[in-house]
């Protein structure tokens, strides 16, 4: 951002920054509409249903119809609710979900803010996401939402620990906390992706395990099935969302799905080479084209990876039964935490003794 201001002057720089933010927001919201549909379609396909297919061809416009419905309904605020906090919670969730995208590099140089501590920023913002849920559950002044928010807070705090440690292994391997550097560290084809890391063959089993653990932790962190205990409909009706209706509910839902897409993007960046294609061939040919066209190609790879992970999220929702709460906690604290801790030691030792980083 400061670079843009230096290049284009104060006013031009600010306009560029605001333009980038608008572009990100619009693209994210639009793609979210279709990802939501994809989620429902995949779910339906597993159950051998057709899914939404009435609004538009193949139900493509279903999300927009839902959007209109949410906007036009009445906002109901329970009389015993803490009004300010009640309305603040969904706004907070949505804002944080968008804020995290400021640090995501979608193609070489295409990022709103290329932070030195990009990965920590993502971690920090996603750890703030729990407040929207706690505040929403508490402010509703009702039993089920409160229980749901307590569950979700405990769950998210627990799995953040293992996510943090897994991220540390990637940071150690890449030698940087800058997301662009982490992606460029995996630029040499799919065998250098951190998920496989064939170029550090000793670490292959470790990093593969870290990747799987990150995926599972991401499911738990975003309260997705099989870890959707905060909104377990069979016990808590809908958890922290029970009292929400209309637009506040919509904000919660958009925030939740944006967080899921964010987790997919994080997995793509940390483990699957971000914007890099699987085989680094034809670089000479590609570089004949102007830079923005090359970047569009990179963007396509990045989005393809995100969609792939989103598909996995949707599939998991459809095929895996819900965990019991004590098993969830056991998995987080007794299995993931020690394993990730050992992995940090192993990767750290490897990096020190093999001198991977300069």
Partner 1 sequence: MELIAFYIFAAIITVSAMAVIAARNPVHSVLWLILCFFTAAGLFVLIGAEFLAMLLIVVYVGAVAVLFLFVVMMLDVDFVELKQGTLEYWPFAGLVGLAFIAEIAIASFARGPGARDVFNPAPGADTNAEAIGAVMYTDYVLLFQLAGLILLVAMIGAIVLTLRHRPEVKRQNIARQTARRRADATTKVSVEPGKGL
Contact segment (CB under 8 A) with partner 1 among 157-165, 188-196, 276-284, 347-355 equals: 157-165
The pattern of x and - marking residues 107 through 126 that bind partner 1 according to CB under 8 A reads: --------xxx--xx-xx--
Alpha-carbon distance of 85 to 145, in angstroms, equals 14
For partner 1, how many residues bind (rule: CB under 8 A)?
Answer: 25
Residue 153 near partner 1 by CB under 8 A:
yes
Residue 127 near partner 1 by CB under 8 A:
yes
Contact between 153 and 133 under an 8 Å Cβ cutoff? The reply is: yes
Contact between 214 and 42 under an 8 Å Cβ cutoff? The reply is: no
Residue 347 near partner 1 by CB under 8 A:
no
Smallest distance, partner 1 to C-beta of residue 122, A: 10
In the list 29, 45, 128, 315, the residue contacting partner 1 (rule: CB under 8 A) is 128
**For the chain, what is the largest distance between any 2 Cα atoms, rounded to a whole number of angstroms?**
66
Rg, the chain, Cα only: 21
Residue 325 near partner 1 by CB under 8 A:
no
- Name the helix (H) or strand (E) containing 133: helix 118-139
In the list 157, 279, 281, 342, the residue contacting partner 1 (rule: CB under 8 A) is 157
312: helix, strand or coil: helix
Give bridge partners of residue 317 from the DSSP assignment.
Answer: none
- Cβ atoms within 10 Å, residue 205: 12
The pattern of x and - marking residues 43 through 82 that bind partner 1 according to CB under 8 A reads: ---------------------------------------x
Q: Which residue, 77 or 154, is less far from partner 1 as judged by CB?
A: 154
Q: Which residue, 175 or 277, is less far from partner 1 as judged by CB?
A: 175
What are the distances in angstroms from CA 313 to CA 213, 217, 239, 295, 320? 14, 12, 20, 27, 11
Q: Which residue, 270 or 306, is less far from partner 1 as judged by CB?
A: 270
Site for partner 1 in 238-267 (CB under 8 A): none
Q: Which residue, 127 or 246, is less far from partner 1 as judged by CB?
A: 127
| DSSP structure string for 54-90 | SSSGGGTTHHHHHHHHHHHSPPP--TTS-HHHHHHHH
Alpha-carbon distance of 51 to 21, in angstroms, equals 33
Residue 130 near partner 1 by CB under 8 A:
yes
| Residue ranges binding partner 1 (CB under 8 A) | 82, 85, 115-117, 120-121, 123-124, 127-128, 130-131, 134-135, 138, 146, 150, 153, 157, 160, 164, 177, 327, 330
């Amino acid at each position: 951002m400061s670079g843009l201001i230096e290049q284009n002057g104060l006013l031009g720089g600010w306009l560029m920054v605001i333009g980038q933010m608008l572009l990100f927001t619009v693209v994210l919201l639009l793609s979210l509409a279709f990802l939501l549909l994809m989620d429902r379609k995949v779910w339906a396909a597993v159950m051998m249903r057709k899914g939404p297919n009435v609004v538009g061809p193949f139900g493509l416009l279903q999300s927009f119809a839902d959007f209109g419905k949410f906007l036009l309904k009445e906002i109901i605020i329970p009389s015993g609710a803490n009004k300010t906090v009640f309305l603040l919670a969904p706004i907070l969730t949505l804002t944080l979900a968008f804020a995290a995208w400021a640090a995501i590099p979608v193609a070489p140089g295409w990022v709103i803010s290329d932070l030195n501590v990009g990965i920590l920023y993502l971690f920090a913002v996603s750890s703030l996401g729990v407040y929207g849920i706690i505040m929403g559950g508490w402010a509703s002044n009702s039993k089920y939402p409160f229980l749901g928010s307590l569950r979700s807070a405990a769950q998210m705090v627990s799995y953040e620990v293992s996510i943090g440690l897994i991220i540390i292994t990637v940071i150690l391997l890449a030698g940087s906390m800058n997301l662009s550097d982490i992606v460029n560290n995996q630029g040499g084809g799919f065998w250098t992706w951190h998920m496989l890391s064939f170029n550090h063959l000793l670490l292959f089993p470790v990093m593969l395990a870290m990747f799987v653990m990150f995926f599972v932790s991401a499911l738990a962190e975003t309260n997705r099935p099989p870890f959707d205990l905060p909104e377990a409909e069979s016990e808590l009706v809908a958890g922290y969302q029970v009292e929400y209706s209309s637009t506040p509910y919509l904000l919660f839902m958009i925030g939740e799905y944006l967080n899921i897409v964010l987790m997919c993007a994080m997995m793509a960046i940390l483990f699957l080479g971000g914007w890099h294609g699987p085989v680094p061939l034809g670089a000479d040919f590609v570089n004949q084209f102007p830079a923005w066209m090359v970047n569009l190609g990179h963007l396509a790879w990045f989005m393809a990876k995100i969609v792939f992970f989103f598909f996995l999220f949707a599939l998991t929702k459809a095929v895996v039964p819900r965990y019991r709460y004590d098993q969830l906690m056991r998995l987080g604290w007794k299995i993931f935490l020690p394993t990730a801790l050992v992995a940090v030691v192993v990767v750290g030792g490897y990096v020190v003794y093999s001198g991977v980083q300069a």
